[in-house]
Structure 1
Amino acid sequence: MDRTTELVPLHYISLGARGPEDVVPDPHGRVLTGVEDGRILRVHHPGDPLTARVEILAETGGRPLGLELLPDGDLLVCDAERGLLRVSTGDGTVRVLADSVAGERLRFCSNAVALADGSVYVTVSSRRHPLDRWIGDIVEHTGTGRLLRLAPDGGEPEVLLEGLQFANGLAASADGSFLVIAETGTCRLVRCRLTGPRAGHAESFADLPGMPDNLWREGPDGPIWVALAGPRLPPLHLLHRTPPAVRRVAARAAVHAPYRPSGTTGVVAVDDQGRTVHHLTRRRSGFRMVTSVCATGDHLVLGSIWEPGVAVCARPADR
Structure 2
Amino acid sequence: MIKKLLLGLLALLLCATAYLLLWPVPIQAQVWVAPPAPGYVGPHAPNTRLAGLQMISLGAEEGPEHVAMGPDGWLYTAVGSGKLLRMKPDGSELAVWAQTGGRVLGFDFDAQGRMIAADAMRGLLAISPSGEVSLLTDHVGDSPILYADAVVVAQSGEMFFTDASTRFGAKALGSTFEASVLDILEQSSTGRVLAYNPATRQTRLMAQGLSFANGIALSSDQSQLFVAETGRYRVWRISTAATGLDVRQASPQAQVLLDNLPGYPDNLMRGLNGKIWMGLVKPRNPKIDNMAGKPWLRELTLRLPRSTWPVPKAYGHVVAFSEQGQILADLQDPSGAYPEATAVTETPERLYVHSLHAPALGWRPNDLK
Same fold by TM (over 0.5)? yes
Contact 1:145 1:164 in 2 (8 A): yes
Match of 1:114 among 124, 147, 153: 153
CA distance in 1, matches of 2:311, 2:135: 34
Is the partner of 1:53 in helix, strand or coil? coil
What is the 5 A alignment of 1:151-190?
Answer: 151-190=197-236
Match of 1:270 among 321, 326, 338: 321
Amino acid at match of 2:279: A
Match of 1:211 among 264, 268, 282: 264
CA distance in 2, matches of 1:31, 1:295: 12
TM-score under structure 2 length normalisation: 0.77
User: 1:228 offset after TM fit, Å?
Assistant: 1.4
Q: CA RMSD in A?
A: 2.6
> Which ranges of structure 2 fall in alignment gaps of 5 or more residues?
1-41, 171-175, 243-249
Give the structure 2 partner of residue 294 of structure 1. Answer: 345
Matched pairs, number: 311
Amino acid at match of 1:43: M
User: 1:201 offset after TM fit, Å?
Assistant: 3.5
Is the partner of 1:306 in helix, strand or coil? coil
CA distance in 2, matches of 1:237, 1:272: 28
What is the 5 A alignment of 1:220-235?
Answer: 221-235=273-287
User: 1:43 offset after TM fit, Å?
Assistant: 2.3
Check 1:154–1:236 CA distance in 2 against 1; reply closer, same or farther (3 A cut).
farther
Greater helix fraction, Structure 1 or Structure 2 = 2
Give the structure 2 partner of residue 74 of structure 1. Answer: 114
Contact 2:164 2:190 in 1 (8 A): yes
Greater strand fraction, Structure 1 or Structure 2 = 1
Structure number with larger C-alpha Rg: 2
Amino acid at match of 1:137: D
CA distance in 2, matches of 1:28, 1:158: 31
Contact 2:71 2:113 in 1 (8 A): no
Moved more, 169-178 or 143-152: 143-152
Check 1:29–1:241 CA distance in 2 against 1; reply closer, same or farther (3 A cut).
farther
Amino acid at match of 2:152: V
User: 1:257 offset after TM fit, Å?
Assistant: 6.5
User: 1:32 offset after TM fit, Å?
Assistant: 1.0
CA distance in 2, matches of 1:209, 1:31: 30
Give the structure 1 partner of residue 75 of structure 2. Answer: 31
Amino acid at match of 1:12: M
User: 1:239 offset after TM fit, Å?
Assistant: 1.5
Contact 1:193 1:199 in 2 (8 A): no
CA distance in 2, matches of 1:94, 1:259: 39
Is the partner of 1:179 in helix, strand or coil? strand
Give the structure 2 partner of residue 123 of structure 1. Answer: 162
CA distance in 1, matches of 2:363, 2:89: 11
Moved beyond 6 Å, runs of 4+:
254-261
Amino acid at match of 2:149: S
Give the structure 1 partner of residue 196 of structure 2. Answer: 150
Identity %: 32
Match of 1:139 among 185, 209, 212: 185
Give the structure 1 partner of residue 92 of structure 2. Answer: 52
Amino acid at match of 2:56: I
User: 1:215 offset after TM fit, Å?
Assistant: 0.6
Check 1:18–1:314 CA distance in 2 against 1; reply closer, same or farther (3 A cut).
same
| CA deviations over 1:121-146 (Å, ceiling 9, x no partner) | 11011122232412122222221111
User: 1:305 offset after TM fit, Å?
Assistant: 1.6
Check 1:109–1:300 CA distance in 2 against 1; reply closer, same or farther (3 A cut).
same
Match of 1:191 among 237, 246, 251: 237
1:63 counterpart = 2:103: yes
CA distance in 2, matches of 1:259, 1:308: 24
| CA deviations over 1:1-30 (Å, ceiling 9, x no partner) | 626551243411221212221111235653
User: 1:56 offset after TM fit, Å?
Assistant: 1.7
Match of 1:102 among 109, 133, 141: 141
CA distance in 2, matches of 1:75, 1:252: 41
Give the structure 2 partner of residue 18 of structure 1. Answer: 62
Check 1:179–1:199 CA distance in 2 against 1; reply closer, same or farther (3 A cut).
farther
